[in-house]
């Protein structure tokens, strides 16, 4: 099982963001062998949220091999053309290390801020992904839709990856969402607090059917579980405080659900949950430390990773 790390963009408690903190998190993740640095995208949330693309750009010069990934960028909210311009720059400046995760987003507030009807998000999203592909490849045919268009305009510089940027589609696992993943995507980005081992396994079976229907080979199609919030502690009271007092209000999910799905508790408990996810077919997990990023990443590396089956 492979692990990535979400950058600390969400202020879980009273928090002052700093470049030093971002760089230390990125450097620590790479040094400990985590393979991906992730950045989630919101304009506004229940807590202050640092801009994702700016955060990824800020750690480029401090990392060398780790993959960078948007998990997930919002092409409808940001606009597919400005987003494509920023993504191409990130790939060029990182030497071709970017993977693009995109989704429609689930926040009506984000849509209200940019003056776009939340009810239009899926129709706009389907077109926006196609526009991104047109703008991020040198050989892409033009696209014209109801909301967006991309003609022969060359939005240079193009990405460093000559084949274009891989675009993963976020989905919680509905049939409609997984059909969209198969049709438009190069990978599936699932959500840790919206899925169980059983529902992931079921979703993977359905995704493979949809991939074959559109002529794609399931064995070549990657997937990952993102936004896996975690906090390692042997203190049960501390774990319950993290789940009920902090994560439940922020995520809008009941504590019972989060207790079952997230990695909050002892290293043994977290290793057991990850083992069940691996058995369900999960191959990549993107971890999000709730607090004390550097300490928590080291604890995971030292006390959880060695317990996992090879």
| Partners of 224 in beta bridges | 189
**CA angle, 131 as apex, 130 and 132 as ends, to 5°?**
90
Which tens digit of pLDDT belongs to each residue from 2-38? 999 999 999 887 777 999 999 999 999 999 999 999 9
Rounded-to-5 percentages of helix, strand, coil across the chain: 50, 20, 35
For residue range 246-302, what is the model confidence (pLDDT) as tens digits?
999 999 999 999 999 999 999 999 999 999 999 999 999 999 999 899 999 999 999
Average pLDDT over residues 98-119: 96
| pLDDT, mean over the chain | 95
Q: What is residue 139's predicted lDDT score, i.e. its pLDDT?
A: 83
Q: How many domains does the chain have?
A: 1
What pTM was estimated for this model as a whole? 0.95
Task: Give the pLDDT confidence of 175-208 residue by residue, as tens digits.
Answer: 999 999 999 999 999 999 999 999 999 999 999 9
Q: How confident is the model at residue 151 (pLDDT cuts 50, 70, 90)?
A: confident
Angle at 72 between CA 151 and CA 103, to 5 degrees: 60
Question: In the predicted model, is pLDDT for residue 138 greater than 90?
Answer: no
Neighbours of 166 (CB within 10 A): 15
Domain containing 75: what range? 2-307
Q: The domain spanning residue 52 has which CATH number?
A: 3.20.20.30
């Amino acid at each position: 099982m492979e692990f990535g790390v979400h950058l600390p963009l969400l202020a879980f408690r009273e928090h002052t963001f700093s470049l030093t903190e971002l760089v230390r998190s990125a450097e620590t993740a790479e040094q400990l062998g985590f393979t991906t640095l992730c950045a989630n995208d919101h304009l506004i949330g229940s807590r202050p949220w640092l801009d994702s693309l700016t955060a990824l750009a800020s750690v480029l010069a401090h990392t060398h091999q780790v993959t960078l990934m948007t998990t997930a960028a919002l092409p409808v909210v940001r606009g597919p053309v400005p987003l494509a311009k920023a993504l191409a720059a990130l790939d060029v400046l990182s030497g071709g290390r970017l993977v693009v995760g995109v989704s429609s987003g689930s926040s009506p507030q984000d849509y209200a801020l940019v003056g776009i009807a939340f009810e239009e998000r899926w129709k706009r999203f389907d077109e926006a992904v196609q526009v991104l592909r047109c703008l991020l490849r040198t050989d892409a045919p033009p696209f014209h839709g109801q909301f967006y268009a991309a003609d022969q305009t060359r939005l240079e510089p193009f990405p460093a990856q000559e084949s274009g940027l891989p675009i993963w589609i976020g989905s919680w696992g509905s049939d409609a969402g997984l059909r969209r993943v198969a049709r438009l995507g190069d990978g599936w980005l699932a959500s840790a607090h919206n899925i169980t081992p059983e529902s992931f396994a079921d979703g993977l079976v359905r995704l493979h059917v949809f991939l074959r229907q559109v002529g794609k080979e399931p064995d070549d199609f990657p997937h990952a579980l993102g936004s896996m919030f975690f906090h390692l502690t042997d203190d049960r009271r501390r774990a319950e405080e993290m789940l009920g007092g902090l994560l439940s209000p922020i995520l809008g999910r009941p504590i019972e659900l989060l207790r079952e799905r997230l990695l909050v508790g002892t290293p043994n408990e977290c290793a057991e949950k990850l083992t069940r996810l691996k058995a369900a077919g999960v191959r990549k997990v993107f971890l999000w430390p709730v607090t004390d990023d550097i300490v928590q990443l080291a604890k995971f590396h030292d006390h959880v990773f060695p317990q996992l089956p090879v």
